[in-house]
């Protein structure tokens, strides 16, 4: 490693901290940015080894999320300097029928080119800056989202700078079904919850000679018995026993002997329950 590399390595050892860059651990260090002094302190410089980061990457530092806003310079292919900015919020978009929380920097207005007029939040305009990735490239015009107790419509998307996408948005009517509290648009349909059940075969663990016992397959969900369909099979192990399937949930076993074991198997929803039953004499 050259002299510059050694010096940067020493600086990393002294002042570096571990962060996640697009989910991968890297050691970097931060420095206050002049921009941060006047804009809510949400800009900082980040220094890292060359190749560890790209413009548009998402950085997680001590629970705070940043978007890599601009690559400032590459110093002799040893280290790079980036300007990073706090994520304003995670904005919910419906992408491929799933609700995705997209890290966003939100600008509350912009200047018009024609007359240099400032059009802002109170004029019903927003601009979102989001990282360019497999999810965000699917955000298109007329997509809706909820923010700041209002509904918004994407009216245009632009890619002025490499690594992120600008979403130009206008306030729109709140629809029935829009969840303003959790910021979930009405265009999202949550999936049906998967039922998880407990499967048992109810019935005696032993049968006396000459006795008939009914066995019932039971599916229980959240403490309640629900409708189910069972397929029963039976192994008599050479014993003199009669087996009859009564319906979709019950079967009957009659013993004509005073010793041995038989095995009843029930299958429901792909789950298999095995019950071993002892054969007993009259007393």
Question: Confidence class of residue 108 from pLDDT cuts 50, 70 and 90?
Answer: low
When pLDDT is averaged across residues 144-151 and rounded to a whole number, the result is 94
pLDDT band at residue 11 under the 50/70/90 scheme: confident
Q: Which CATH number is associated with domain 3-85?
A: 2.40.10
DSSP label at residue 147:
E
Question: What b/e string do you get for 19-34 counting C-beta neighbours within 10 Å, with b at 16 or more?
Answer: bebbeeebebbbeebe
Per residue in 232-277, pLDDT tens? 999 999 999 999 999 999 999 999 998 999 999 999 998 999 999 9
The reply to whether 89-172 shares the fold of 3-85 is yes
Which CATH architecture group holds 198-280?
A: Sandwich (2.60)
Domain assignments of the chain as residue spans, ordered by start = 3-85, 89-172, 198-280
| CATH code that applies to domain 89-172 | 2.40.10.370
The pLDDT of residue 75 is 77
Could you tell me the maximum CA-CA distance found in the chain, to the nearest angstrom?
Answer: 103
pLDDT digits 0-9 by tens, 191-200: 877 767 899 9
Could you report the per-residue pLDDT of 183-232, keeping only the tens digit for each? 999 999 998 777 678 999 999 999 999 999 999 999 999 889 999 999 99
């Amino acid at each position: 490693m050259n002299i510059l590399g050694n010096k940067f390595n020493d600086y990393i050892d002294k002042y570096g901290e571990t962060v996640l860059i697009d989910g991968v651990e890297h050691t970097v260090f931060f420095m206050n940015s002049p921009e941060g002094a006047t804009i809510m302190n949400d800009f900082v410089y980040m220094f890292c080894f060359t190749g560890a980061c790209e413009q548009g990457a998402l950085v997680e530092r001590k629970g705070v999320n940043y978007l890599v806003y601009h690559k400032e310079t590459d110093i002799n292919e040893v280290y790079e300097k980036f300007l990073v900015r706090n994520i304003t919020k995670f904005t919910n978009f419906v992408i491929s029928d799933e609700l995705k929380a997209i890290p966003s920097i939100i600008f509350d207005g912009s200047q018009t080119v024609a007359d240099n007029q400032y059009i802002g939040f109170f004029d019903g305009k927003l601009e979102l800056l989001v990282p360019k990735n497999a999810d965000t490239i699917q955000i298109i015009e007329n997509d809706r989202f909820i923010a700041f107790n209002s509904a918004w419509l994407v009216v245009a998307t632009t890619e002025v700078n490499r690594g992120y996408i600008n979403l130009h948005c206008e306030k729109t009517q709140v629809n029935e079904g829009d969840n303003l509290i959790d910021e979930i648009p009405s265009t999202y349909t949550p999936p049906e919850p998967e039922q998880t059940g407990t499967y048992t075969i109810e019935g005696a663990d032993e049968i006396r000679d000459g006795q008939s016992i009914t066995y019932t397959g039971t599916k229980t969900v959240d403490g309640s018995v629900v409708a189910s369909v069972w397929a029963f099979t039976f192994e008599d192990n050479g014993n003199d026993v009669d087996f009859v399937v009564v319906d979709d949930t019950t079967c009957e076993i009659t013993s004509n002997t005073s010793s041995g074991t038989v095995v009843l198997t029930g299958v429901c929803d792909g789950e298999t329950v095995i019950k071993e039953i002892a054969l007993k004499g009259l007393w």
